[in-house]
Amino acid sequence: MSLLRVSNLQTTYSMRTTSVRAVDDVSFDIEAGECLGIVGESGCGKTTIGMSLMRLLSANGHITGGEIDFDGRDLVSISEHQMRKVRGNAIALVPQDPMTSLNPVTRIGTQIAEGFRIHGGSKARAMTRALETLRMVEMPNPEERLRQFPFELSGGLRQRVMIAMALVNEPKLLIADEPTTALDVTIQAQILDVLDGLREKLGMAIMLITHDMGVIAGRTDRVVVMYAGRKAEEGPTTPIFKQMRHPYTRALLSSVPSIDAEHTERLLTIPGLPPDLSKEIVGCRFAPRCRFATDECTAVEPQLGGDDGHVYACYHPVDGPELIGASVAGLTKDDDVRDSATRESLLTVTNLVKDFPIKSKRLVPGGEHLAVSAVANVSFEIGQGETFGLVGESGCGKTTIGRLVVGLETPTSGSIVFAGRPEGLSGHKAKVADAKLRQMMFQDPYASLNPRKRIRDIIAEPLEIQAEGTNKTRFARVLELLGEVGLPADAVDRYPHEFSGGQRQRVGFARALAVRPKMVIADEPVSALDVSIQAQILNLMEDLRDEHGLSYIFISHDLAVVRHIADRIGVMYLGRLVEVGPAKQVFSEPAHHYTQGLLDAVPIADPVLAKTRKNKITGELPSAIHPPSGCRFRTRCPAATEVCAAEVPPPSEVSSGHIVACHHPLRTTVAIEATTASVPLL
């Protein structure tokens, strides 16, 4: 008898005019102490499954069929009163966003104890229990935390509190819905380790809901792959990754860029978008996007079949992952062609500093003038047609650098110089001249497009600002751009909300290209998108880069994506550039302990490899108001010594163009003159 048996679950959301069957006829089991992963793209119904189990669906959502048998009780039919006794007691939930899931005006201890008290725990024991659970989640200084408020804690620590809250009644099943999506990789690895340890210690079952194949790979026993409200495939983790049968599972895996890729192949994408669930769907739901689809697929929906334990719904099952290099010849691009040594310089950033002043206590005489040191003495150079990847965790200053380069912020000191910019301009004219050379592509494609403007006006705006051409020529250019980014011409009269996320990012890209800039600054351009869509956008960016000889500054927290697209990479930590070099070398032979730690923390979509890796970076990002002296990474560095606290590490060269700023680098280095013109400065 399994702990949880979900049979033929069906959950429907009623909309204004239609209803959407978000989960349709889904069955699965979870054994006691097991970790089941549920993976799929947004809108596939994975979160709805979790919410159905908790019976916490939004007001318009209803379980319209099926049974949820938990520990001998049917959770669908029991009364709300009985369900309340299950919630937070036998089944507990860890939500996605730790920043908004804690009550800001209540102390941590009280919040954790609340769940204990609700389910009949005594007041006398409540605080002791809260402390116990905080210890369980390996919270640093747990006694102190009990008295603190949520705003005093970082995101990672808050997620630990959320887990502690879920654990307070020792649940039999823990539902973790994207528990690490809002966190940085090093913190993500820490949280996943905590969850792993707890499962062993307490023997509870975990249902891990995520979109990230990497997170699933190392931590789960079994995996359910969801597509458009249906279960596409289910099986033990290793076979799902190594011998998957459903084409969707395979496509999902091959569209994720790999961090260890020898070649930077073109990504394989899944064409199109998931189907509209408010309409009746005939046949296999994946058929319109599947290259193996036949008439049979579009006529009758395939039933789940397969060996015991590994089931899939497909008429034409595949056998294991795509052999990229062999099966699709000519897709590999040559790294040598994209050699950066011979490029002419396009952008030179020298000793860039940006401090954001915090309001000083002006009423108090002698009050301190505080500032957040967002960018501290950063220098780099980007050549014509080169893609420079800027990576680092949130708060490292990579976004600020992007904003400084496009003129959305003014540097505190230092200079940003574009080659080819006309001399002697000032004020607004200089801004317009700069904008002609570089344009920006934003992270959130929805927020960055004015919802009250048509696409024609949105894409033509940079041209209008440059006062280029007439209305007629501008419109012609808009049509040309739409073609380049793969959107139909009739999109010109549409408004942004009529597009899907991926399409909106295409519009954003078209707008950035409108004035034929030399450089596009892309700030997390794909992190808001599903992996299959992400691959489409990345391929498009590569195609148009090669076609127009564009340069990119590609800012991302996702190392695999940066590895895929960038020629050269800069690794940032707390406002400092700690390592710069050719993408291949930085990833294969990292010289800085932080780079190494980042690489170790990235979840990889390979269950065998994932289990062998160990996260080395501990602790949290220090405050940028009082950054650590000397090397800013020393507080989290495994190799830190006294000299790291005393002196800022000077740049040294690992190999040509590969430069690191560390007192104890992982590779042998040669000291360099900080003023040598030919090498980028740190």
Partner 1 sequence: MSHVEIEPAVSQLHVEGTAVASEHGTLADGGEVRGSGSIFIQMFRVFMQNKLAVGACLYIFFVVMLCIVVPQLYPQHYWATAGADYGSSCYLPIGSVTGNPGNAAPNAAHWLGCTGGFDNVGLLAYAGRFSLMIGLLSAFVTMTVGTAYGIVAGYRGGWLDSVLMRFDDVFLSIPVLYLLLLVITIYGQGLWSLIGVIGFTSWFGVARLMRSEAQLLRNREYAQAARSMGATGRRVMWRHVLPNAVSTMVTAGTFALGDAVLTLSALGFLGLGLRPPDYDWGTMIQSASSGFEQGWWWTLWPVAFIFILFVLSTNYIGDALRDSFEVRLQER
CB of 148 to partner 1, least distance (A): 30
Instruction: Select 359 or 497, whichever has its Cβ closest to partner 1.
Output: 497
How many CB atoms lie under 10 A from the CB of residue 307?
Answer: 10
CB of 450 to partner 1, least distance (A): 4
Q: Which long-range contacts (CB under 8 A, 24 or more apart) does 279-286 make?
A: 281/228, 284/313, 284/314, 284/315, 285/227, 285/228, 285/229, 285/230, 286/227, 286/228, 286/232, 286/246, 286/247, 286/248
CB of 291 to partner 1, least distance (A): 9
Tokens of 601: 């923390």
Instruction: Select 71 or 484, whichever has its Cβ closest to partner 1.
Output: 484
Instruction: Select 11 or 190, whichever has its Cβ closest to partner 1.
Output: 11
Instruction: Select 282 or 358, whichever has its Cβ closest to partner 1.
Output: 282
User: CA-CA distance, 99 to 248, in Å (whole number)?
Assistant: 33
Instruction: Select 489 or 646, whichever has its Cβ closest to partner 1.
Output: 489
CB of 443 to partner 1, least distance (A): 8
Instruction: Select 471 or 623, whichever has its Cβ closest to partner 1.
Output: 471
Helix or strand holding residue 112 (H, E) = helix 108-118
User: CA-CA distance, 459 to 513, in Å (whole number)?
Assistant: 9
Collapsed DSSP state (helix, strand, coil) of residue 536? helix
CB 318 within 8 A of CB 246: yes
CB of 651 to partner 1, least distance (A): 30
CB 671 within 8 A of CB 368: no
Pairing of strands 438-441, 413-418: unpaired
User: CA-CA distance, 266 to 255, in Å (whole number)?
Assistant: 9
CB 107 within 8 A of CB 149: yes
CB of 550 to partner 1, least distance (A): 13
CB of 408 to partner 1, least distance (A): 5
Instruction: Select 234 or 523, whichever has its Cβ closest to partner 1.
Output: 523
CB of 264 to partner 1, least distance (A): 14
CB of 63 to partner 1, least distance (A): 15
Tokens of 682: 């740190």
Q: Which residues of 20-49 are buried (b: 16+ CB within 10 A; e: fewer)?
A: bbbbbbbbbbbeeebbbbbbbbebbbbbbb
Instruction: Select 29 or 461, whichever has its Cβ closest to partner 1.
Output: 461
Instruction: Select 42 or 128, whichever has its Cβ closest to partner 1.
Output: 42
Angle at CA 615, nearest 5°, toward 235 and 560? Answer: 70
